[in-house]
């Protein structure tokens, strides 16, 4: 088959700028072959090389006594004691999900699960963070339904519980939805598997499903803005098969018990190219691949297609040759492909041979380590103008407006489509705060949360970045968990625009400050840039996924609100309404600054909650919607009314940080007040849980009436 000539148009179609192509010519000293051009395109695109973000990612705190493995592997690994580790990561599948919602979201789930079990961990929990355009936009309903169905379709068949997540709507996502997938697994801390190849002449083995033409060029597509050619990109979206993935996981975990695995890598973005290059580069070795041995499900596939296919449910490993028979037997038992497709070599070469013909011969280390790295120009986000006056409103009217918005209504319609109880270890299902999973066979539990408020990040990237981490810290604390570590999924627009790059830099600064102050290092993550359509960027959305540990399930702070419980607010209330949910939903305004995050206060107040958990019957952090929304949600979940003492708009709907709402008995409230006085923690009684209504000052509505709005608004908007 005649390979196409390398033209400026072909180079541009591969996402390479003219100066980047000149760098390639300098590195290899000749014009690349078509396959080599594809390989460079895959390894040097934004999605794989992090060329715009590397400089800033290096500033993030990534270590701590609890960290076994930080960023750079398939997933992060954190010690949870007793010889066990939690392995977790969050990753985006934004562009594919906009083009093909079901498969885009489904393969996002499949990819993140592979990242976890490739490390030797059995997945125990998943979450997802979803951002869509306005509910009334012509594409939103189709996207929401397709994405939720795809996540449920893959996760439910694979058999991992979905324990949490978030869903938001904003016009900025009209042309570019976000699908961020999180997975966590359990492993023995001395049995973690890494991707660095070692040993010369070792077999490189292809494992799993066959290679097809789906997803060719997917990573390059994910590193570009959208425009009116979006439909042409549909073939770049992969197709997933959760049942094959389930078999692949069982076979992989069984294979790891044989001792045959030297190194192993998931075939994700850029498929065979990226996995082989990463294994060789980390091990300081070269790799030779013989593509005629690659299991193929389509006829006459070219070297280019095989190297860039992103067909799902595939792995690459370096094998101990003396254990080949045992390893092969495992994969044949699970009815999966096992094929030796190459070997490690001493020279620093990436040699691709197809039917005896050399299709690519490149210096392997140059493919990843010399990918261009940019110090993009950036400008700091302009300081937000002072908030114009916000009129006082009837508290029940304000609360009803929030409950009627799909942003703040109950998300049952979403999570009831997911299996939240499979494996029988789920200790708290989605719907109120962090999700929780018992650590099977022990008294321990792990808590999981995903958080960011994009409005805050746009107004003030530094404070918004801090707030995403602080809210994750509070959500874990509110269930009694000790926050351990974080993973980030940094979703932004075009980094070549200085103002977008400024948002990224500011958010990284805020995240870095917060994870350091709260002892929650970043151990894994993903950057997703170029989330724009026709020049319109998404809101800056640096999602933070966080994991916390409970040493005993008795330490869980329950959700046991009862008639007569006192409502206490821990933390200082100043009534900050800038960028608040109330402002957006009631007044259609997005002005003012993001709330300031006092990290010392966050730490102090969180430590106070955990130290006094025995006196607390229920707890939730105060975030979007302030006290009014938090009090309603606690009341609604327990089926008991709530009466709040103060009716001012600032007090009820302000979004000051470092605050929690606590429910407890009267005598426990007194004891908490004494403890707070001794530790300098602000604590005030704000009302009590009683009756069958929500009453604030002279305004009142039945709990049942408000609950109906809360439970039905989401489905009415999107179903």
Per residue, the 3-state secondary structure of 123-191, as one string, reads EEEEEEEEEECCCCCCCHHHHHHHHHHHHHHHHHHHCCCEEEEEEEECHHHCCCCEEEEEEEEEEECCC
Q: Using one digit for the tens of pLDDT, what is the confidence trace for 329-367?
A: 999 999 999 999 999 999 999 999 999 999 999 999 988
Residue 591 domain flag: yes
Can you count the helices (H) and strands (E) in the chain?
25, 28
Residue 286 domain flag: no
Q: Helices 140-158 and 101-117 meet at what angle, rounded to 10?
A: 40
Amino acid 369: pLDDT: 73
What is the spatial distance between Cα 665 and Cα 561, in angstroms, rounded to a whole number?
A: 9
Of 235, 255, 244, nearest to 316 by C-alpha is 255
What is the pTM (predicted TM-score) of this model? 0.96
Amino acid 237: pLDDT: 74
Using alpha carbons, list the distances in angstroms from residue 483 to 74, 180, 597, 676. 22, 21, 18, 21
Q: What is the DSSP letter of 177?
A: -
Q: Is 109 helix (H, G, I), strand (E, B) or coil?
A: helix
DSSP letters spanning 648-693: -HHHHH---SS-EEEEE-HHHHHHHHHHHHHHT--EEEEEEE-TTE
- Asked if residue 381 lies in contact with residue 460, where contact means CB atoms within 8 angstroms, the answer is yes
Find the length of the chain: 719
Residue 104 domain flag: no
Q: Is 93 noted as a catalytic residue in this protein?
A: yes
Beta strands in 211-308, from DSSP E residues, in sequence order:
261-266, 286-290
Q: Which of 93, 170, 354, 565 is catalytic?
A: 93
Amino acid 219: pLDDT: 52
Residue 657 domain flag: yes
| CB count in 10 Å sphere of residue 407 | 21
Instruction: Please give the structure tokens belonging to residue 118.
Output: 């490739």
**Bridge partners, 566 (sequence order):** 664, 688
Q: Report H helices in 376-428.
A: 395-404, 412-415
| CB count in 10 Å sphere of residue 105 | 30
Most distant CA atoms of the chain, gap in Å? 84
What is the spatial distance between Cα 218 and Cα 236, in angstroms, rounded to a whole number?
A: 5
Using alpha carbons, list the distances in angstroms from residue 598 to 271, 402, 416, 702. 43, 26, 36, 36
Amino acid 230: pLDDT: 45
| Whole-number average pLDDT of the chain | 94
Domain with residue 682: its CATH number is 3.90.650.10
Q: Report H helices in 518-598.
A: 581-587
Instruction: Please give the structure tokens belonging to residue 317.
Output: 């490993």
Amino acid 234: pLDDT: 45
- Asked if residue 683 lies in contact with residue 570, where contact means CB atoms within 8 angstroms, the answer is yes
Residue 608 domain flag: yes
Q: What is the DSSP letter of 657?
A: S
Ramachandran angles phi, psi of 182, nearest 5°: -120, 140
Residue 583 domain flag: yes
Instruction: Please give the structure tokens belonging to residue 663.
Output: 């429910």
What is the spatial distance between Cα 42 and Cα 52, in angstroms, rounded to a whole number?
A: 15
Of 365, 340, 352, nearest to 279 by C-alpha is 365
Residues of the chain predicted below pLDDT 50: 230-231, 233-234
Four-residue CA torsion sign, 111, 264, 448, 655? negative
Q: Which of 47, 95, 565, 643 is catalytic?
A: 47
Instruction: Please give the structure tokens belonging to residue 139.
Output: 């594409």
β-strand pairing of 642-644 with 566-570: unpaired
* Dihedral angle computed from the Cα positions of residues 115, 116, 119 and 123, in that order, rounded to the nearest 10 degrees: -150
Amino acid 2: pLDDT: 74
Q: Is 552 noted as a catalytic residue in this protein?
A: no
- Give the total number of structural domains in the chain: 1
Residue 51 domain flag: no
- Asked if residue 317 lies in contact with residue 206, where contact means CB atoms within 8 angstroms, the answer is no
Find the domain containing 665 and state its range. 558-719
Residue 249 domain flag: no
Q: Using one digit for the tens of pLDDT, what is the confidence trace for 270-321?
A: 889 999 999 999 999 999 999 999 999 999 999 999 999 989 999 999 999 9
Instruction: Please give the structure tokens belonging to residue 580.
Output: 């608040």
């Amino acid at each position: 088959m005649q390979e196409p000539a390398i033209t400026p148009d072909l180079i541009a179609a591969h996402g390479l700028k003219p100066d980047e192509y000149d760098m390639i010519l300098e590195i290899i000293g000749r014009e690349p072959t078509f396959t080599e051009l594809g390989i460079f395109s895959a390894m040097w695109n934004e999605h794989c090389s992090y060329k715009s973000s590397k400089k800033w990612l290096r500033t993030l705190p990534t270590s701590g006594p609890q960290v076994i493995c930080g960023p750079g592997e398939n997933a992060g690994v954190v010690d949870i004691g007793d010889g066990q580790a939690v392995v977790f990561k969050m990753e985006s599948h934004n562009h594919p999900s906009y083009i093909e919602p079901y498969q885009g979201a489904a393969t996002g789930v499949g990819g993140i699960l592979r990242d976890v079990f490739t490390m030797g961990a059995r997945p125990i929990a998943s979450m997802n963070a979803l951002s869509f355009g306005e509910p009334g936009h012509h594409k939103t309903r189709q996207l929401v339904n397709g994405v939720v169905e795809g996540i449920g379709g893959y996760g439910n068949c694979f058999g991992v519980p979905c324990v949490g997540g978030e869903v938001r709507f904003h016009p900025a996502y009209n042309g570019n939805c976000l699908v961020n997938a999180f997975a966590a697994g359990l492993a023995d801390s001395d049995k973690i598997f890494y991707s660095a190849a070692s040993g010369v002449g070792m077999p490189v083995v292809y494992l799993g499903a066959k290679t097809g033409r789906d997803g060719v060029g997917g990573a390059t597509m994910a590193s570009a803005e959208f425009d009116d050619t979006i439909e042409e990109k549909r073939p770049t979206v992969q197709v997933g098969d959760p049942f094959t993935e389930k078999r692949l996981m069982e076979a992989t975990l069984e294979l790891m018990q044989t001792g045959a695995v030297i190194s192993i890598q998931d075939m994700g973005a850029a498929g065979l190219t990226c996995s082989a290059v990463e294994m060789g580069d980390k091990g300081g070795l070269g790799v030779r691949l013989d593509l005629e041995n690659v299991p193929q499900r389509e006829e006459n596939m070219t070297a280019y297609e095989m190297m860039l296919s992103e067909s799902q449910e595939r792995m690459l490993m370096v094998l101990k040759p003396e254990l080949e028979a045992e390893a092969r037997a495992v994969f044949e038992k699970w009815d999966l492909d096992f094929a030796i497709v190459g070997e490690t070599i001493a020279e620093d070469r990436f040699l691709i041979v197809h039917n005896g013909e050399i299709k690519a011969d490149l210096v392997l280390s140059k493919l990843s380590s010399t990918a261009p790295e940019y110090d993009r120009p950036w400008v700091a986000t302009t300081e937000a103008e002072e908030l114009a006056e916000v009129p006082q409103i009837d508290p029940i009217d304000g609360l009803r407006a929030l409950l009627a918005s799909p942003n703040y209504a109950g998300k049952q319609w979403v999570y009831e489509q997911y299996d939240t109880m499979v494996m029988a270890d789920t200790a708290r299902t989605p719907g109120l705060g962090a999700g929780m999973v018992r650590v099977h066979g022990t008294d321990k539990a792990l808590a999981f949360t995903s958080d960011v408020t994009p409005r805050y990040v746009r107004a003030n990237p530094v404070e918004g970045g801090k707030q995403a981490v602080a809210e994750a810290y509070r959500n874990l604390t509110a269930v009694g968990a000790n926050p351990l570590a974080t993973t980030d999924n940094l979703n932004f627009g075009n980094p070549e625009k200085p103002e977008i790059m400024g948002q990224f830099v500011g958010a990284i600064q805020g995240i870095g400050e917060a994870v350091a102050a709260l002892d929650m290092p970043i151990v894994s993550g993903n950057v997703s840039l170029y989330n724009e359509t026709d020049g319109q960027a998404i809101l800056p959305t640096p999602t933070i996924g966080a994991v916390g540990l409970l040493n005993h399930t008795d330490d869980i702070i329950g959700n046991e609100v009862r008639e007569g419980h006192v409502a206490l607010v821990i933390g200082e209330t100043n009534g900050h309404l800038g960028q608040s949910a109330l402002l957006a939903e009631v007044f259609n305004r997005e002005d003012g600054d993001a709330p300031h995050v006092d990290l010392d206060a966050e730490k102090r107040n969180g430590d106070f909650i955990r130290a006094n958990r025995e006196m607390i019957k229920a707890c939730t952090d105060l975030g979007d919607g302030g006290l009014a929304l938090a009090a309603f949600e606690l009341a609604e979940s327990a089926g008991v009314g709530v009466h709040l003492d103060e009716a001012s708009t600032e007090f009820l709907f302000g979004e000051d940080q470092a605050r929690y709402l606590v429910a407890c008995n009267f005598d426990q409230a007194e004891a908490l007040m004494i403890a707070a006085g001794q530790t300098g923690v602000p604590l005030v009684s704000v009302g009590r849980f009683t009756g069958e209504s929500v009453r604030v000052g002279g305004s009142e509505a039945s709990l049942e009436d408000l609950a109906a709005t809360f439970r039905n608004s989401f489905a009415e908007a999107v179903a």
